[in-house]
Chain A
Amino acid sequence: MSVSTQSGVRPSSGRTPDPVLSLRGVHKSFGAVHVLQGVDFDVYPGQVTALVGDNGAGKSTLIKGVAGIYPFDDGDFFFEGQKVHISDPKHANALGIEVVYQDLALCDNLDVVANMFLGREEKKGPGLDEAAMERKASETLAGLSVRTLSSVRRTVASLSGGQRQTVAIARAVLWNSKLVILDEPTAALGVAQTEQVLSLVERLAQNGLGVVLISHNINDVMRVADHIACLYLGRMAAQVPASEVTNSQVVELITTGRTGDIGLPAQVANHADAIDPTTGA
């Protein structure tokens, strides 16, 4: 709920604040599959960092590590400058890390308020404090300038795809979150609703949160991202300010791991599988 009070924190481009999240040389293997091979990744408060990469590059694995679903095997994890070891999702939530999953994880039969507080209901004595929850839900939506919901007591079943995505995102910022990760939030949406959600993503950053946006849509990425991080076969090919690359360069990064003098060394990009993974970082 500190959302509205933090508005305007967004730094002018040029001066970079300390990252809210910093990963250094993280590794993750599933059995014999070495999915993340020494990845560095930074997310800055008040900015949108787009995480791109081809299918299977390791984007979801990376954010699941951050969210504590599959903790990393190796590497350093800094949150707000402190070295942390996140072992489970509750721990990540407690630090202020929230994930909006691609398949939305909302309950159709419950209303907006119930969904936003699901699993973390406010109590008054033995029962629920409905009034407090309803008020906080309305305030959070207001803080995000959401005007498309007529009532927070409508069941989620009656909402459009964009409105549902809005509820899912609002749920993520309800908890004094500092870092919000969105896994393909616009994948299933039409033009107008994509626009709605993207401006919501921008507003999260304006409110001072660190935002990670995973997307396969280069136009969406270029439209809202301040930084672009590209994973290529489990390595961080590049993390660059969005203003310094063009659409086609991003596409090249995604498909080959390098473009011009940005990206992985040529022999790594071309023979990623033949290189010893531990030297990658």
Chain B
Amino acid sequence: MSSTLTSDAAASEASASPGLGESVRNYWDRVRGGELGSLPAVAGLVALIIVFTVLEGDTFLSAFNFANLINQSAMIIVLAMGLIFVLLLGEIDLSAGYAAGTCAAILGVTLTQRGWPLWMALGATLLTGVIIGLLIGLLVAKLGIPSFVVTLAAFLALQGVILLIIGEGGTIGIDDPTILKIMNANMSPLAGWILFGIVVGGWALLSLLKMRGRRAAGLPVENMSVFLAKLIALAVILGAVVYILNQERSRNPAITSIMGVPYVVPLILILVVGLTYVLGRTGFGRHVYAVGGNAEASRRAGINVSRIRIACFIACSTLAAVAGILFASRDNSISPSTGGSTTLLYAVGAAVIGGTSLFGGRGRIIDAVIGGLVVGVIANGLPLVTQESGIAFIVTGLVLLVAASVDALSRRRAMATGRA
């Protein structure tokens, strides 16, 4: 009696290590069943790129503009990564934008005004993020105040904190060369290709190791053709990105040469890989999804739910601190409006557009990158087409609405087909 499933499973899975065609069909079945993942966002991104290429191809597709797009999206992407931690719990952090601003202000004060060494200033900046997240997390997890209210209060309070630190109408300049380099300097073209090699080779190596481990454990293994197709897709996309960024993009190459992958790109790559590992492959990450899916079940399974909640708010505010460092680097200065205006809403929008659910329990770090690029492409491409900034807001709002509808509809669809 004990061999039935093992043999069933072995039999079905030996035959069902699916080939490329079947993998595509399986994926399509899942999509039709409501498990959309980042498909709508990728489709939207491609559509937007096509539209802007048709309308303003010369400018939009230029290497200069491409680097610009990365500069515009980087902060949104990093903030969205942090927000994904709280969105996975079904919570929200409205204060993340001003948390970024506050942390940037701390960076400015310690680095420029107090003359602290860089590592100490960076430590103080990140620590500020940790403390903000800890306070919010304690209020939400221990007192049970809804995160909407706690973070709305923090949104207002942090706005005031920045004003007090910097002063009405003031700014703090940033002149540390390392900080300025992050958003304003580029890797050499060769270093760009080495980075490309590390990422593609590393991905291939990890995938092969995982396949070997599963085979050793007698579990179903991904088909080789599926692996190769994914590898080629990754290599082509990343290769194109590196190639374009390695083109000369200076208006006047005789005076200054600008080419290469901006330093912020490897920074974001490290965050994507590291945080994806944390959420997807560690016990902590598993528990984040569990609490977002069913907090009571998690509690009964012995998971410390408050600890997970607090950790996610800390992750969010700490990543906001990283975004604050990027703001400081890009703008060379910090003002009371750093991290304000549309920053937070764009970041939430990016996470949702990328495929993270507002209902909790569903989302991945890569959603922040894809959604952030969608938001960035709109902000970057529309001004080439029209000077009306009003249009950009309206279009972004509509895209967000579409994304939220996709989220809600795919949930309904998933329930109808018994997948949720």
Contacts and interface: CB of A to CB of B under 8 A. Distances in A.
A22 interface: no
Interface stretch (B65-73, B233-241, B278-286): B278-286
Contact of A138 (B9, B294, B296): B9
Interface stretch (A49-57, A124-132, A187-195, A213-221): A124-132
Contacts of A60: none
Given A107-B298, A110-B293, A145 B2 contact: yes
A131 B217 contact: yes
Contacts of B214: 131
Given A107-B294, A110-B289, A131-B219, A90 B5 contact: no
Interface in B268-322: 277, 281-283, 286-287, 289-290, 292-294, 296-298, 300-303
Interface stretch (B118-126, B255-263, B392-400, B412-420): B412-420
B177 interface: no
Nearest to B292: A109
B1 interface: yes
Interface in A92-114: 93, 101, 103-110, 114
Interface stretch (A33-41, A115-123, A232-240): A115-123
Interface residues of B, number: 39
B6 interface: yes
Please list the 6 inter-chain residue pairs (A to B) with the smallest Cβ-Cβ separation, ordered nearest first. A119-B301, A142-B5, A4-B2, A107-B293, A109-B293, A109-B361
The number of chain A residues touching the other chain, given as a range, is 35 or more
B8 A118 contact: no
Contact of A105 (B8, B219, B294, B420): B294
Interface string A143-168: 10111011110010110100000000
A255 interface: no
A135 B298 contact: no
Contacts of B297: 104-107, 118
Contact of B303 (A118, A151, A155, A158): A118
Given A106-B294, A131-B214, A142 B3 contact: yes
B300 A127 contact: no
A271 B2 CA distance: 51
29 contacts: A3-B2, A105-B301, A107-B289, A107-B290, A107-B293, A107-B294, A114-B286, A114-B289, A118-B298, A119-B290, A119-B301, A120-B302, A121-B283, A127-B277, A128-B282, A128-B283, A135-B218, A135-B219, A138-B6, A142-B3, A142-B5, A142-B6, A142-B9, A145-B1, A145-B5, A146-B5, A147-B4, A157-B419, A160-B418
A121 to B, nearest CB: 5
Contacts of A142: 2-6, 9
B219 A158 contact: no
A128 B5 contact: no
B197 interface: no
A145 B298 contact: no
Interface in A182-216: 203
A89 B218 CA distance: 34
A126 B292 CA distance: 22
B355 to A, nearest CB: 14
Given A107-B298, A108-B420, A118-B298, A147 B5 contact: yes
Interface of B: 1-6, 8-9, 12, 213-214, 216-219, 277, 281-283, 286-287, 289-290, 292-294, 296-298, 300-303, 361-362, 414, 418-420
A158 B413 CA distance: 12
A89 B299 CA distance: 11
A141 interface: yes
A158 to B, nearest CB: 5
A109 B301 CA distance: 15
Contacts of B292: 109
Contacts of A110: 286, 289-290, 293
Given A105-B297, A127-B282, 14 more contacts: A4-B2, A89-B300, A105-B296, A107-B294, A107-B298, A109-B361, A109-B362, A119-B303, A127-B277, A128-B283, A128-B286, A145-B5, A157-B420, A158-B418
B300 A105 contact: yes
A103 B299 CA distance: 13
Contacts of B213: 131
A141 to B, nearest CB: 5
A7 interface: yes
